[in-house]
């Protein structure tokens, strides 16, 4: 049995308010605990999207009643809310700007809207972007105009990771995250997964892109699941929404890579705990740890997961390392596949900032 820190996932979708048939604050944070994650940062592309005080309170009230791990909620940037967002900043995980098409209605098309947010959003609060390819280069440039830190979500391609390397080498304050699915899957997996199930943004990339992520591991600050649950009926339907559930499979996949010598345990702890805590300015969780049976080998099965999505793109994968027990702030919250925490045990880690 190895004892690890409670992991911090800076990119998850809880689907509440608005789409609790996909996930809610209980099922999503239960999935987090099952994956050894004790703190999640929730994205704002819910229904309604989280863009003002009223919608923020909708999400935070649902979380207050249901969450079983600690959390904070992102605010979404719109063309209209730059000054309101800045006022709400202390109560949020950070600001999310969607700059390319993905799931949900939040998207900033006009670059002058990006600039308004880059100028208004408090310097010390996290600012994360969905920006692919040339959009990523453009937003790095604009953030540099304002000399402000910028976090790049779910980096998936060779050109992106090399641009981030170049930006870091020039002293720009950029950080980035990579998902397990972009580290372990590629477009070659699409036929076996099926088109609908394989839909994800950024799309699964080429094996060469995937290899570039591994070759530039030193540039990757965080691992983040981008846990984006949609039901199987939706994924197998006529208009499959993009997104994979990932909270329960991330740590086993990463620990399997450790067992295979592709990563060190230190690599995992740094990117899934130390760096997220530092980059997103998150408080320490005292008396919090995860107990993992590092020898246990098992097969990933969608039907055994706690996420309401009920499926996984890693169906049938043999992994090594199983979360046996999670202790959060001195309380046993998960053991042997069962969530023991009562709904509402999770705390808003930005709550005292109001
Ligand atoms: C995410 C979702 O479903 O909310 N989907 C995805 O494919 N990653 C949106 C996002 O993170 O871009
Ligand atoms: Zn378009
Ligand atoms: Zn995204
Ligand atoms: Zn996402």
Task: Give phi and psi for 346, each to the nearest 5.
Answer: -65, 145
* Ligand 1 contact, 201 CB (< 6 A): yes
Q: What is the CATH number of the domain that holds 137?
A: 3.20.20.140
Q: What is the ipTM of this complex?
A: 0.94
Pairing between β-strand 127-130 and β-strand 95-98 as defined by DSSP bridges: parallel
* Ligand 1 contact, 197 CB (< 6 A): no
Identify the DSSP state of 306: S
Q: For 209-234, write each residue's pLDDT tens digit.
A: 999 999 999 999 999 999 999 999 99
C-alpha to C-alpha distance for 43 and 251, rounded to whole angstroms: 20
Q: Is the bond preceding residue 17 a cis peptide, omega within 30 degrees?
A: yes
For the question of whether the overall pTM of this predicted structure is more than 0.80, the answer is yes
Q: What is the tally of structural domains in the chain? A: 1
* Ligand 1 contact, 243 CB (< 6 A): yes
3-class DSSP assignment, residue 198: helix
Alpha carbon distances (Å) from 315 to 235, 245, 246, 249: 15, 12, 12, 10
Residue 32 contacts residue 247 (beta carbons within 8 Å) = yes
Q: Is the pLDDT of residue 352 over 80?
A: no
**Protein residue whose Cα sits closest to atom 9 of ligand 1:** 103
Q: For 282-316, write each residue's pLDDT tens digit.
A: 999 999 999 999 999 999 999 999 999 999 999 99
Domain that holds residue 218: 2-353
Q: Find where tokens 């600001």 sit.
A: 95
Q: For 92-103, write each residue's pLDDT tens digit.
A: 999 999 999 999
3-class DSSP assignment, residue 289: strand
C-alpha to C-alpha distance for 45 and 22, rounded to whole angstroms: 13
* Ligand 1 contact, 23 CB (< 6 A): no
Could you give the percent of the chain with pLDDT greater than 90? 99
C-alpha to C-alpha distance for 17 and 147, rounded to whole angstroms: 34
Q: Considering the chain, what is the average pLDDT of its residues?
A: 97
């Amino acid at each position: 049995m190895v004892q690890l820190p409670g992991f911090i996932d800076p990119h998850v979708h809880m689907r509440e308010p608005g789409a609790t048939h996909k996930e809610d604050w209980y099922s999503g944070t239960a999935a987090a605990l099952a994956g050894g994650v004790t703190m999640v940062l929730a994205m704002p592309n819910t229904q309604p999207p989280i863009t003002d005080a009223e919608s923020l309170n909708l999400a935070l009230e649902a979380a207050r009643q249901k969450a079983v791990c600690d959390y904070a909620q992102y605010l979404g940037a719109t063309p209209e809310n730059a000054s309101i967002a800045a006022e709400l900043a202390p109560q949020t995980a950070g600001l999310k700007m969607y700059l390319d098409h993905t799931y949900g209605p939040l998207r900033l098309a006009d670059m002058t809207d990006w600039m308004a947010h880059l100028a208004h959003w408090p310097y010390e609060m996290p600012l994360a972007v969905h920006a692919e390819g040339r959009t990523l280069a453009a937003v790095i440039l604009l953030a540099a105009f304002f000399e402000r830190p910028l976090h790049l979500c779910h980096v998936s391609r060779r050109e992106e990771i090399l641009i981030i390397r170049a930006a870091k080498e020039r002293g720009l304050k950029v950080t980035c995250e990579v998902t397990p699915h972009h580290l372990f899957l590629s477009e070659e997996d699409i036929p076996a997964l099926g088109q609908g199930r394989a839909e994800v943004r950024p799309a699964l990339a080429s094996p060469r892109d995937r290899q570039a992520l591994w070759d530039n591991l030193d540039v990757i600050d965080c691992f983040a699941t981008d846990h984006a649950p949609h039901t199987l009926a939706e994924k197998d339907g006529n208009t499959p929404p993009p997104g994979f559930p990932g909270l329960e499979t991330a740590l086993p996949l990463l620990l399997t890579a450790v067992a295979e010598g592709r990563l060190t345990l230190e690599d995992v702890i740094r990117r899934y705990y130390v760096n997220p805590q530092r980059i997103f300015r998150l408080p320490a969780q005292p008396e919090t740890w995860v107990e993992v049976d590092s020898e246990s080998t098992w097969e990933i099965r969608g039907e055994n997961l706690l996420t309401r999505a009920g499926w996984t793109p890693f169906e049938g994968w043999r992994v090594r390392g199983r979360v046996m027990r999670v202790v959060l702030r001195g309380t046993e919250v998960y053991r042997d596949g069962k969530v023991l925490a009562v709904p509402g045990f999770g705390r808003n880690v930005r709550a005292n900032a109001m």
